[in-house]
Amino acid sequence: MVSATITGIGTALPEAAAGQQTLWDGFFRNHFAGSRVAERIFAGSGVRRRHTVADPLAEDLSGWSTEQRMRRYVTEAEPLGQRATTVALAEAGVAAEEVGLVTVVSCTGYSTPGLDIRLATALNLRSDVQRLLIGHMGCYAALPALGSVADFVVARQRPAVLLCLELTSLHVQPPTDDPQQMVSHALFGDAAAALVLVPDPPAGAGTRRPTLQLVDLAAVTDTATSDHMTWEVTDFGFRMGLSPKVPAVLAQHVRPMICDLLGRNGLEVADVRTWAVHPGGPAILDTVESELDLPADALAASRSVLAERGNCSSPTVLLVLDALVDRGALEQGGPVVAMAFGPGLTLYAALLSAGPGTA
């Protein structure tokens, strides 16, 4: 059966980076009026360091209008996305003129012409390249986007690029005593991550790192809890709503969804060799680990990405996949499950099959 295979992964981070304690002492302590609640949230976030295009230690965007933030997004997004995509194309051994589709995922900025057009121009893609822009889906968006890109690759037998890019630092909100805002400001960072997918590569033509073949996708949306995670457009950028009830909702759905996904492919949880779980926060990772009865080190890559990058919304699960490749976790092949969560409340999972690089 013809399928789509990920042969290149590229990531890019803004140059500005700061430790969590430095961010608290240098900006957020004053921003939240010395709140003890906020201080505890920052300390317990699982984040040690974050990269941002808007460094709060150097500039305060909390009073900026949405228009100002969108203009800044345009300035910052293109070079960051180009860096990630260039790495992914080089790793896959795919030339720009071979790309048939470029898909861009982002919920943190908008413009017309969009980032998809700007990226295609910057990379010198063909004028007839097809483009798809996926917006405002939030943290899980990489996985439905992966499904759509894979469908194109299989149907058209041409390579495609998927870029997930989020600049959450552009949306620091005005001072507030809302704990949900404290949580979101403690967790989120900026990043870009790109994938290159190709039709099944012929024997002897591959990449220097393991490949990932998309096998199947699954999704569950609990609309009764749609108010638990929100991303609202305001006059001062986009405002996150993040209920503390989210882990409890995930606990109801994660095992049935994963067991169904695996079962229809002749697998069980114990057969999965590698887990790439979106690190929405420590409680979410704890919930997944508990509900699936995973070994203590199964989500080590997810926890490491959370610690060193923060929650970067849609690119984050791809950052975890990249970290797993770097750690050699995919060298032995076998089933891989990628999982992410977001507004809806939505759970998404992808079953992948890891194979060795051939170059």
Please tell me the distance from the alpha carbon of residue 352 to that of residue 146, in angstroms, as a whole number.
Answer: 11
Placement of tokens 């990043």 in the chain? 191
What the block records as the tokens of 27 is: 């900006």
Q: Are residues 155 and 223 in the same domain?
A: no
Instruction: Please give the residue range of the domain that contains residue 265.
Output: 211-355
The domain boundary, picked from 177, 199, 221, lies at 199
What are the residue numbers of the active site? 139
Query: What's the pTM value of the predicted model, to 2 decimals?
Result: 0.96
Angle between helices 179-187 and 36-43 (to 10 degrees): 30
| Number of compact structural domains in the chain | 2
Contacts of 306 (CB under 8 A, 6+ apart): 46, 47, 279, 281, 282, 285
Q: Are residues 45 and 152 in the same domain?
A: yes
What's the pLDDT score for residue 200? 78
Do residues 250 and 285 touch, judged by C-beta distance below 8 A? no
Return the C-alpha torsion angle 40, 317, 123, 156, nearest 10.
-160
Q: Are residues 184 and 229 in the same domain?
A: no
The domain boundary, picked from 199, 229, 262, lies at 199
Do residues 122 and 83 touch, judged by C-beta distance below 8 A? no
Do residues 195 and 318 touch, judged by C-beta distance below 8 A? yes
Q: 166 - beta bridge partners?
A: 191
Q: Is residue 75 part of a domain?
A: yes
What's the pLDDT score for residue 357? 65
E strand or H helix at 163: strand 160-167
Q: Are residues 183 and 219 in the same domain?
A: no
Q: Are residues 68 and 124 in the same domain?
A: yes
Q: Is residue 320 part of a domain?
A: yes
Low-confidence stretches of the chain (pLDDT beneath 70)? 1-2, 201-208, 357-359
Please tell me the distance from the alpha carbon of residue 109 to that of residue 135, in angstroms, as a whole number.
Answer: 9
Q: Is residue 205 part of a domain?
A: no
Positions of E strands within 208-271: 211-221, 229-234, 237-242
Q: Are residues 230 and 157 in the same domain?
A: no
- Domain CATH number, residue 287: 3.40.47.10
What the block records as the tokens of 208 is: 């220097």
Q: Are residues 305 and 189 in the same domain?
A: no
103: closest CA among 331, 345, 314?
Answer: 314
Q: Are residues 140 and 239 in the same domain?
A: no
In degrees and rounded to multiples of 5, residue 90 shows phi and psi of: -65, -40
What's the pLDDT score for residue 310? 98
